[in-house]
C-alpha cells in the first residue's frame, strides 16, 4: 500500500497536475478533496470530466465516474467486487476505493487517453430490430456503421504513418543533403564542360558519347528483357510439364470411366452440393449469426455484480413459481392425439442422419483431397529424386486384373491338358484290351482252322490286312495327336515360366511395399487421431484468441481516438493559456510602450477609432440631410436646363436642314432657267 501511495503522490506532483502533495498531506485529504483529485485525473484523460464536483449531486458524480470507468474497462479489486459497496465507497470518497482507481489511472494515463478519445467515435448503437424495419433508420444505422469502420481504417493508417519512422527533420536533412549533392554535381559538370570546350570538335565527341550512352542503356534493357524472357520460358516449360502430368493423370483416371458413371457421380455431387448450399450451410450460418448476436449483446452489456445476479435469480424463481401455479390452475384435459408425431420423429431422425452423412461425406472428401495432394507430392518427389514412375493404384489394379485373367486362362489350359492325358490313358487301355481280344480271337481262329482245316484262310487274311491298315491309320492319328499335345504342353510350360520370371521381381517388390503400406496405414490412423485432437484444441484456442484480439483492438482504437482528441484540446487550451499569460504580463508591465502592444489597448484603440469614424459619418449624414432639399431643387433645375438646351439643339438642326433643302431647290430652279 505504501508503494502505491508513493507512486500516486509522485505522479500527482508532476505535470500537468502539480499538486505538491506528500504522503502525509495526501493521506490526510478529506473525502471531497480526494474525489476532486480523482475527478482532476479523469479530466486529464477526458476533458468532459473537468467540472467541480461541488456543483453537482453525488449521484450524478458517481454515475458519471462509473460510466467513464466502465468505458475504460476498469475492474475493481477482489475485495470490492460487490458493485453496490463499490458505488457507495466511490460516492463517500472512501480511500480503499479511490486509491486503487488513482493508481490504475496514473499507470495507464496515455493508453487511457487514447481509449477515451476513440470511445467517442467507436460507440456502437444497439438499435432494436423493430426500429430497423424503417428504411430511413436502417440506412442511417448502416451509414453510421460505415463511418465507424472508415474512422477505424483512417486511424490505423494515421498510426502506421506515425510509426513508420519518417519525420520532418529527417526529410529536411535528406532534402538538404540532396541539394548539396546537386550543387556538387552541377559544379563538376561545369568544370567538365569548361575542360571539354577547350578541345576541338567537342560537339561531335559529346554527340558520340551521348549515342554511346543510349546504346549502353539499350543494351542493358535488352539484356534485362532477355533475362525476363528466359525466366518466362522456364516458367512456361514448367507449366507445360505440370499440365502434361495433369493430362496424363486425367487420362489414366478417365480410362475406365463411362458416361453413365460420370453422369451418376455428377448428379450425386450436385445433389450433395445443393443440399449443403440450400439446407445445411444456411442453418449453420443462421446459428452462428444468432450466437454472434447473443455474444455481442452480452459483451456490450456492463459487468454485473453479485447483487444484480442475485436479483435476477430471484426474478427467475418468482416467474417459475408463478408459471407452476398457472399450470396447476389450468383445467386438465385429455391429451390431444397427434397422428403426425411419429412421422415428425421419423423426419427428424432422417434429417439428423442426413446431416451426419453429409458431414461424414464432407470429411471424407477433405481427407481424399488431402491424401491425393500428398500422393501427388510424393510422386513428384520420387520423380525428382530417382526419375522412376510410381505405379498408381488404378494401374496396379488393372495389372492385377490382367494377371488374374491370365491365371484363369492358364488353369483352363491345364485342366484341358489333364483331360487330354486322361483320354490318352483311356485310349491306351482300350488299345490293350483290343489287342488282348485280337489275340484271343486269333487263338480261337487257329483252333477252329485246326479242327476244320484251312477253309476261309484268304478271307481271314484280307480281314486281317484291312484291320492292320485301319490300325496303322489309327496309330498314326494317335501319334500325331500326341505330338501336338506335347508341343502344346511345352509351349504352355514355357509361357508359364516366362510369366513366373516376369512376375517374380514384382512380387518381391510388392511384399515389402504391402508391409510398408500396412505400417503407414497404422501410423496414419494414429497421426490422424492426434491431429484431430490437436486441431480441435487449436481451433478453440484460436477462436478465443481472435475474440480477445478483436476486443483489444477495439479498445486500442477507442483509446487512440480519445488520446488524439484530448491532445488536440490540450494544445488548444495551452495556446489560449499562453496568450492569456502574455496578455497579463503586458497588462501589468510598467512600460507604457509594452502596454500599448496589449490586446486590450489595441481593442480600445480600435474602438476609439471606430467611434471617431462614426462621429464623422454622423456629421456627414447631418450635412447631407440639411442640404438634401436645395440640392434636389438644383438637380431639377439642371435637368430642366438640360432639356431646354436639348430642345434648342433639335430646333437648330431642323432649321439648318430646312435651309439646306431650300438652297437645293433654288439651285435646281436656276439650272432649269439656264437651260
3-state SS, one letter per residue, for 220-260: HHHHHHHHHHHHHHHHHHHHHHHHHHHHHHHHHHCCCCCHH
Tell me if residue 78 falls in helix, strand or coil: helix
Per-residue pLDDT at 336? 44
35 or 233, higher pLDDT: 233
**In the numeric block, which cell numbers belong to residue 552?**
483489444
Query: Residue 666 — pLDDT band, cuts 50, 70, 90?
Result: low
Q: At what angle do helices 109-119 and 31-45 cross, to 10 degrees?
A: 70
Lowest average pLDDT, out of 147-161, 411-425, 430-444, 485-499, goes to: 485-499
pLDDT tens-digit map of 613-628: 999 998 888 888 888 8
Would you tell me how many other CB atoms lie within 10 Å of the CB of residue 385? Answer: 8
Q: Could you tell me if residue 184 is left (phi over 0), alpha (psi between -120 and 50 degrees) or otherwise beta?
A: alpha
Share of the chain above pLDDT 90, in %: 3
Would you tell me how many other CB atoms lie within 10 Å of the CB of residue 594? Answer: 14
306 or 189, higher pLDDT: 189
Contact 71, 116 (CB under 8 A): yes
- Has residue 500 got a pLDDT over 70? yes
Contact 587, 600 (CB under 8 A): yes
Q: Find the angle CA(331)-CA(332)-CA(337) to the nearest 5 degrees.
A: 130
Q: Looking at residues 404-427, what average pLDDT do you find?
A: 84
- Has residue 80 got a pLDDT over 50? no
Q: What is the DSSP letter of 199?
A: S
Residue 235 CB-half CA count within 13 A: 6
Bond into 480 cis (ω within 30): no
- Has residue 377 got a pLDDT over 80? no
pLDDT tens-digit map of 346-369: 777 787 777 777 778 778 878 888
**In the numeric block, which cell numbers belong to residue 366?**
477433405
Per-residue pLDDT at 1? 57
Per-residue pLDDT at 673? 45
Lowest average pLDDT, out of 266-280, 294-308, 510-524, 634-648, goes to: 294-308
What does the buried/exposed string (b/e) look like for 192-228 if buried means 16 or more CB atoms within 10 Å of the residue's CB?
Answer: eeeeeeeeeeeeeeeeeeeeeeeeeeeeeeeeeeeee
- Has residue 411 got a pLDDT over 50? yes
566 or 596, higher pLDDT: 566
DSSP string, 310-346: HHHHHHHHHHHHHHHHHHHHSPP-PPPP-TTHHHHHH
Q: What is the pTM of this model?
A: 0.28
Round to whole Å and give the CA distance between 245 and 233: 18
Q: Find the angle CA(168)-CA(174)-CA(179) to the nearest 5 degrees.
A: 125
Which is nearest to 424 in space by CA: 479, 362, 348? 479
Query: Rounded to a whole number, what is the distance in angstroms from the first to the last CA of the chain?
Result: 145
- Has residue 536 got a pLDDT over 60? yes
Would you tell me how many other CB atoms lie within 10 Å of the CB of residue 397? Answer: 12
Per-residue pLDDT at 79? 47
Round to whole Å and give the CA distance between 50 and 47: 6
Lowest average pLDDT, out of 146-155, 180-189, 468-477, 562-571, goes to: 468-477
Per-residue pLDDT at 334? 43
103 or 646, higher pLDDT: 646
| Most confidently modeled range among 104-108, 183-187, 530-534 | 183-187
Q: Looking at residues 323-339, what average pLDDT do you find?
A: 58
Share of the chain above pLDDT 70, in %: 81
Round to whole Å and give the CA distance between 289 and 153: 24
Q: Looking at residues 426-442, what average pLDDT do you find?
A: 82
Contacts of 98 (CB under 8 A, 6+ apart): 34, 35, 38, 89, 90
Per-residue pLDDT at 302? 65
Contacts of 94 (CB under 8 A, 6+ apart): 31, 88
Element (H, E) at 415: helix 393-452
Per-residue pLDDT at 645? 92
| Most confidently modeled range among 319-333, 529-543, 661-675 | 529-543
Per-residue pLDDT at 407? 83
Contact 98, 38 (CB under 8 A): yes
Average pLDDT over the chain reads 77
Which is nearest to 64 in space by CA: 42, 92, 94? 42
Round to whole Å and give the CA distance between 370 and 403: 31
51 or 560, higher pLDDT: 560
- Has residue 387 got a pLDDT over 70? no
Query: Residue 460 — pLDDT band, cuts 50, 70, 90?
Result: low
Query: Residue 462 — pLDDT band, cuts 50, 70, 90?
Result: low
Q: Find the angle CA(560)-CA(562)-CA(563) to the nearest 5 degrees.
A: 65
Q: At what angle do helices 135-162 and 457-588 cross, to 10 degrees?
A: 80
Contacts of 61 (CB under 8 A, 6+ apart): 35, 39, 53, 91
Q: Looking at residues 63-69, what average pLDDT do you find?
A: 78
Per-residue pLDDT at 397? 72
Per-residue pLDDT at 502? 74
What does the buried/exposed string (b/e) look like for 35-55 if buried means 16 or more CB atoms within 10 Å of the residue's CB?
Answer: bbbbbbbbebbbbebeeebee
- Has residue 258 got a pLDDT over 70? no
Tell me if residue 652 falls in helix, strand or coil: helix
- Residue owning grid cell 520532418: 168
307 or 82, higher pLDDT: 307
Per-residue pLDDT at 669? 55
**In the numeric block, which cell numbers belong to residue 19?**
499538486
Amino acid at each position: 500500500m505504501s508503494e502505491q501511495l508513493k507512486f500516486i503522490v509522485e505522479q500527482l506532483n508532476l505535470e500537468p497536475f502539480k499538486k505538491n502533495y506528500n504522503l502525509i498531506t495526501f493521506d490526510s485529504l478529506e473525502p471531497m478533496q480526494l474525489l476532486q483529485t480523482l475527478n482532476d485525473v479523469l479530466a486529464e484523460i477526458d476533458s468532459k470530466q473537468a467540472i467541480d464536483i461541488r456543483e453537482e449531486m453525488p449521484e450524478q458524480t458517481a454515475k458519471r465516474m462509473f460510466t467513464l470507468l466502465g468505458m475504460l474497462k476498469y475492474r475493481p479489486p477482489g475485495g470490492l467486487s460487490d458493485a453496490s459497496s463499490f458505488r457507495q465507497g466511490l460516492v463517500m470518497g472512501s480511500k480503499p476505493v479511490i486509491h486503487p482507481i488513482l493508481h490504475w489511472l496514473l499507470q495507464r494515463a496515455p493508453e487511457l487517453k487514447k481509449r477515451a478519445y476513440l470511445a467517442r467515435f467507436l460507440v456502437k448503437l444497439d438499435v432494436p430490430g423493430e426500429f430497423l424495419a424503417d428504411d430511413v433508420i436502417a440506412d442511417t444505422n448502416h451509414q453510421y456503421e460505415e463511418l465507424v469502420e472508415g474512422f477505424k481504417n483512417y486511424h490505423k493508417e494515421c498510426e502506421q504513418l506515425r510509426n513508420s519512422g519518417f519525420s520532418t527533420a529527417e526529410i529536411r536533412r535528406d532534402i538538404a543533403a540532396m541539394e548539396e549533392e546537386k550543387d556538387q554535381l552541377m559544379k563538376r559538370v561545369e568544370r567538365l564542360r569548361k575542360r571539354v570546350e577547350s578541345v576541338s570538335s567537342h560537339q561531335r565527341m559529346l554527340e558520340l558519347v551521348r549515342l554511346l550512352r543510349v546504346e549502353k542503356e539499350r543494351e542493358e534493357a535488352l539484356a534485362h528483357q532477355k533475362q525476363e524472357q528466359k525466366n518466362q520460358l522456364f516458367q512456361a516449360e514448367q507449366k507445360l510439364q505440370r499440365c502434361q502430368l495433369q493430362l496424363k493423370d486425367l487420362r489414366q483416371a478417365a480410362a475406365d470411366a463411362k458416361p453413365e458413371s460420370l453422369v451418376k457421380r455428377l448428379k450425386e455431387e450436385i445433389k450433395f452440393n445443393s443440399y449443403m448450399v440450400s439446407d445445411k450451410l444456411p442453418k449453420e450460418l443462421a446459428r452462428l449469426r444468432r450466437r454472434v448476436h447473443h455474444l455481442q449483446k452480452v459483451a456490450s452489456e456492463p459487468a454485473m455484480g453479485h447483487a444484480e445476479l442475485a436479483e435476477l435469480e430471484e426474478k427467475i424463481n418468482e416467474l417459475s413459481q408463478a408459471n407452476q401455479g398457472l399450470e396447476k390452475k389450468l383445467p386438465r384435459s385429455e391429451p390431444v392425439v397427434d397422428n403426425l408425431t411419429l412421422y415428425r420423429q421419423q423426419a427428424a431422425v432422417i434429417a439428423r442422419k442426413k446431416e451426419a452423412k453429409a458431414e461424414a461425406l464432407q470429411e471424407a472428401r477433405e481427407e481424399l483431397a488431402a491424401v491425393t495432394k500428398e500422393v501427388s507430392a510424393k510422386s513428384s518427389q520420387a520423380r525428382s529424386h530417382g526419375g522412376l514412375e510410381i505405379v498408381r493404384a488404378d494401374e496396379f489394379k488393372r495389372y492385377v486384373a490382367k494377371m488374374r485373367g491370365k491365371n484363369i486362362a492358364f488353369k483352363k489350359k491345364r485342366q484341358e491338358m489333364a483331360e487330354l492325358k486322361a483320354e490318352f490313358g483311356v485310349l491306351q487301355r482300350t488299345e490293350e484290351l483290343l489287342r488282348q481280344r485280337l489275340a484271343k480271337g486269333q487263338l480261337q481262329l487257329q483252333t477252329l482252322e485246326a479242327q476244320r482245316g484251312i477253309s476261309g484262310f484268304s478271307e481271314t487274311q484280307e480281314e486281317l490286312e484291312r484291320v492292320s491298315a485301319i490300325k496303322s491309320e489309327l496309330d498314326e492319328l494317335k501319334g500325331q495327336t500326341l505330338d501336338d499335345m506335347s508341343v502344346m504342353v511345352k509351349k504352355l510350360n514355357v509361357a508359364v515360366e516366362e510369366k513366373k520370371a516376369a512376375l517374380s521381381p514384382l512380387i518381391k517388390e510388392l511384399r515389402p511395399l504391402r508391409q510398408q503400406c500396412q505400417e503407414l496405414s497404422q501410423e496414419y490412423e494414429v497421426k490422424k487421431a492426434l491431429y484431430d485432437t490437436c486441431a480441435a484444441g487449436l481451433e478453440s484456442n484460436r477462436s478465443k484468441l481472435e475474440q480477445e484480439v478483436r476486443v483489444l483492438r477495439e479498445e486500442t482504437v477507442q483509446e487512440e481516438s480519445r488520446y488524439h482528441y484530448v491532445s488536440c484540446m490540450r494544445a488548444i487550451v495551452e495556446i489560449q493559456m499562453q496568450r492569456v499569460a502574455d496578455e497579463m504580463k503586458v497588462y501589468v508591465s510598467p512600460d507604457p510602450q509594452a502596454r500599448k502592444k496589449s490586446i486590450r489597448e489595441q481593442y480600445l484603440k480600435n474602438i476609439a477609432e471606430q467611434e471617431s469614424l462614426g462621429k464623422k459619418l454622423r456629421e456627414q449624414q447631418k450635412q447631407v440631410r440639411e442640404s438634401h432639399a436645395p440640392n434636389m431643387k438644383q438637380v431639377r433645375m439642371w435637368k430642366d436646363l438640360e432639356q431646354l438646351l436639348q430642345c434648342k439643339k433639335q430646333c437648330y438642326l431642323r432649321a439648318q436642314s430646312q435651309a439646306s433643302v431650300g438652297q437645293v431647290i433654288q439651285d435646281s430652279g436656276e439650272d432649269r432657267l439656264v437651260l
